[in-house]
Structure 1
Amino acid sequence: MSTPETQLPLHGLPIRSAPALDLLTGIKVLDLTTSVAGPYAGQLLADMGATVVKVEKPKGGDDARAWGPPFLHGESLWFMSVNRGKKSVALDIAATQGQEVLRKLIAECDVILLNLVARAQRKLGLDAASLRKINPRLIHASISGFGLQGSRADLPCYDLIAEGYSSVMDLTGEPENGPQKVGTPAADLLAGGDAAMAILAALLRREREGKGCDIDISMVESMSRFMTPKLTPYLGSGEMARRAGGRDSVIAIYQVFETADDPMTLGLGNDAIWKRFWVAVGQSEVGADPKYASNMDRRVFRDEIVKVIAGLLRSKPRAYWLELLAQARVPAGPIQRIDEVARDPALHESGFIYRVAGPDGDVPQVGLGIRFDGQTEGSGTSPKLGANTEEILRNWIRCEDAEIAELRTQQII
């Protein structure tokens, strides 16, 4: 049964209204991507002040517009989550007239974002070599499953596929169970973050040297780089990490424990924290025992240490332990459900989770989480399909009314 709109969690969020950041003011981005990875990269750039124009199919638009339920005000919440602050142009880029319009827009922009494989880019004339003839200073950024080169370059890919290739699925979950996908589209978001970071670096070089850049982001490589703390130790030692659930295989002790009510996390990551923990729980002699002096020593006795700590923590509720350990500066925390994250007072206070007024009603937002001179992203929303088509055609490439009317008649826009 769906929740009545008047009782939605978003109505418990603080209302926020803020101007856009100005770090990328004047930078024009054409976002031709769909789904999550590319749109997320575009949203990061929009959050930092770029004008991001989302170019979509006139019928249906971005694939993610249909991803639901859940929907809010008739729009996909998945779509809303990665398209904040953009403008939308509805344009049929498969048609000759649509390609002509697109090339005029490309001549005016600084960055183009694509999530097409190399073969599809060449077919549409959207590969970097072709577009460089139109705009030599263009930053051409591609996000694909396997990159634009190599034996897998033309293979399709989704987040799930990239997570499988990277080993993150093999290392996620309890050891007695099978591989698990991360509970968010991690490969998409990591690749999108990589693309935005790379674009910023390319813009800085262009400012210095005046030349564009071809950026090639592979979801599999972004996700595999995320596994560096597991992959590098294997490469240098031959010791292969295995699925360990909420336990870390290197740090002792670093895992989930049950309490008298709810589970909690505990990270005793160095010798000083190890000693502070045992002082806090009234057993300083354990922390001072020389047989547990180093992490290497504690790994040897991990099982017996875990057994003692588990018995101790089960004796009182989680809130008791979190307060005690916070005072002792020992890293510990709750394992929050998504609804608890949504209600987290610290995240409300910081302005990270909030709501804004949209054209059809309030819309929830999850913030950028980065502050520049104390300011974070502006309070924009995701665009309606094609809402800014005429505005962009008039302002960017100076289309006249008759030309726009003809494009509409031909169903190009």
Structure 2
Amino acid sequence: MNVNGEGLPGDLPIQAPAEEGRQGFSQLSGTVVVDLTTSVAGPYATMLLADFGATVIKIERATGGDDARHWGPPFLDGESLWFLAVNRNKKSVALDITDPEGYAVLADLVARADVVVTNQPADIQKRLKTDFESLTALNGDLIHASITGFGLTGHRAAWTCYDLIAEGYSGVMDVTGAADSAPQKIGTPAADMLAGQDAAMTVMAALLNRERQKGPQQIDIALVESMTRFLTCRITPYLGSGDVPKRSGGTDSVIAIYQAFETADDPITLGLGTDGIFRRFWKAVGNPDYADNPAFSNNGERRRHRARIVADIQDVLFDKGASEWLDIFAAARVPAGPINSVADVVADRHLQDRGLFFTLEAGGRKVPQVGLGIQVNGESGKPRSMPPALGSDTDAVLNQFLGYDAEKIAALRTAETIS
């Protein structure tokens, strides 16, 4: 198995395979979602809905499909691992909606759907007739969820956007990194993931509301706004105090001692967030009298003396290695942890035991996945199907959902409306 297109071995670092076809969460069973999205934010939103049991019909361009299918390396058996990360439990229909016959197929699907999710800017939605007004004319009870960079209104509504751009607008890059470093992007597509989660959450709320009140509902999610809200705990203090947060390598928390420290080998993190934890820390390291100093009696005092306390803690932590300190702090109920690499995270036995990582297996293929990290009634969600190949479900969806016969499907394929 080739994981990156460059000949490296494909042994996957996951030891907990999950068989395809197992029962997953069913809270949204019976809900039909037409997914017009591409890239990360929209597909992540619809995957969350699919993980909770919704039937997600992913509409992709007949040629090329979702943009993320081409993002790599790394690839797994020729498929982008970025695409595979956010598209499980879906059905793929390869359809040219710019063709009148293709749009007619889309209209038939929308008429039978509960939700449509799109991530095109407002002007493109109008041109493609996938906007709220066009689609709710086909289905008066439709929930229409739009995920864009800047929202559907305002002077930036037509602007294109990616996660990087949203992070820059939001302020998060300006407060990320060391004091003497350039602004840094977060090491994951945070704006995409947050916006996708916001969209899924709001769709669920809209579905609940529909039980009380019929009629169309329009959801407007903006990457920049989801990412900006992520900074709530930095923005609100600025609004109330006028103090502009600065990059500090994560050492300027309102909690006095809340940062990474070196040990005799690997770095660790410490969060001494209360007076009690502060005392427990110094008892655990063998110097209980330190916490009795009146200058360190509360968080405000410790903030004023932060530089001294940090230096004293650092001197102590050089005496032992990270794993030894972490065992000591766990026993003392002092919040502390390692600074894991991605490889370390995947190997974490606790996360594996909780079912966060798994491998989908079908037809001799293995596809690694990260689960929801959500448990309901003591159970985590189980995957139902692999991320789909482009157009793998076109015929089945058109036949089973729309009742198209083989002759009509063949005619659409001959016209290159579907593939």
User: TM-score band, normalised by the shorter chain?
Assistant: over 0.9
The normalised TM-score by structure 2 is 0.96
Whether the 8 Å CA contact 1:205–1:211 is kept in 2: the answer is: no
Higher mean C-alpha displacement, 218-227 vs 352-361? 352-361
Equivalent position of 1:70 in the other structure: 74
Give me the whole-angstrom Cα distance separating, in 2, the residues matched to 1:343 and 1:186. Answer: 23
* SS of residue paired to 1:52: strand
- C-alpha displacement of 1:354: 1.4
- Post-superposition offset of 1:58: 1.1
Match among 20, 28, 36 for residue 32 of structure 1: 36
Following superposition, the deviation at residue 360 of structure 1 comes to 4.4
Secondary structure of 1:210's aligned partner: coil
C-alpha contact 1:73 1:360 (8 A) present in aligned 2: no
In 1, Cα distance between equivalents of 2:379 and 2:390:
29
Is the Cα contact below 8 Å between 1:251 and 1:295 reproduced in 2?
A: yes
Q: Which residue pairs with 1:107 in the alignment?
A: 111
Question: What root-mean-square deviation, in Å, do the aligned CA atoms of Structure 1 and Structure 2 show?
Answer: 1.0
Matched residue type, 2:396: E
Shift, 1:395, TM fit: 1.5
Q: Please tell me the residue identity of whatever aligns with 2:169.
A: Y
Q: Per-residue deviation at 1:105?
A: 0.5
Is 1:16 aligned with 2:10?
A: no
Aligned residue for 1:374?
378
C-alpha separation in 2, matches of 1:193 and 1:396: 27
Residue aligned with 1:397, SS = coil
Deviates more, 1:84-93 or 1:17-26: 17-26
- The residue type paired with residue 16 of structure 2 is P
Per the alignment, residue 195 of structure 1 pairs with 199
> Could you tell me how far apart the structure 2 residues matched to 1:284 and 1:270 are?
15
Question: What's 2:3 paired with?
Answer: none
- 1:224 maps to 2:228: yes
Return the match for 1:301 from 305, 321, 330: 305
Is 1:369–1:376's contact at 8 Å kept on the other side of the alignment?
A: yes
Tell me the residue number matched to 1:405. 410
C-alpha separation in 2, matches of 1:348 and 1:3? 25
Percent identity between the two aligned chains: 52
- Are the aligned partners of 1:67 and 1:78 in contact in 2 as well (CA < 8 Å)? yes
Partner of 2:333: 329
More helix by share: 1
Which residue identity does 1:348 align to in structure 2? Q
Q: Report the alpha carbon displacement of residue 394 of structure 1 after superposing the two structures with TM.
A: 0.9
**Structure 1: which 4+ aligned runs deviate by more than 3 Å?**
none
Is residue 101–residue 417 contact of structure 2 (8 Å, CA) maintained in 1?
yes
Is 1:165 matched with 2:169? yes
Q: Which AA in structure 2 matches 1:95? A: D
Report the Cα distance in structure 1 between the residues aligned to 2:42 and 2:362, rounded to whole angstroms: 23
Displacement, 1:2? 4.6
Structure-to-structure mapping, 1:10-409, within 5 angstroms: 10=14, 13-17=15-19, 18-379=22-383, 380-409=385-414
TM norm structure 1:
0.98
Structure 2 contact 12–368 (Cα < 8 Å) conserved: no
- How many Å separate the matches in 1 of 2:353 and 2:18? 11
Matched-pair contact (CA < 8 Å) for 1:255–1:266: yes
Shift of 1:100: 0.7
Does structure 1 conserve the Cα–Cα contact (< 8 Å) formed by 2:256 and 2:299? yes
- Local SS of the residue matching 2:46: helix
Which residue does 2:9 correspond to in 1? 4
CA contact (8 A) 1:91 1:412 kept: yes
Distance in 2, Cα, partners of 1:370 & 1:126: 32
In the alignment, the residues of structure 2 paired with residue 257 and residue 225 of structure 1 have an alpha-carbon distance, to the nearest angstrom, of 29
Q: Quick one: which amino acid aligns to residue 264 of structure 1?
A: I
How far did residue 376 of structure 1 move? 2.4
Unaligned ranges ≥5, structure 2: 1-5
Q: CA separation in 1, counterparts of 2:244 and 2:230? A: 16
**Equivalent pair of 1:256/1:265 in contact (CA under 8 Å):** yes
CA distance in 2, matches of 1:242, 1:335: 22
| Superimposed CA distance per residue, residues 207-250 of structure 1 (whole angstroms, 9 cap, x where no aligned partner) | 11122310000000000000000000000110111111131331
State the shift of 1:375 in Å: 2.4
CA shift, 1:358, in A, is 2.8
Q: How much does 1:110 deviate?
A: 0.4
Partner AA of 2:394 in structure 1: T
User: Which letter does structure 2 place at the counterpart of 1:117?
Assistant: P
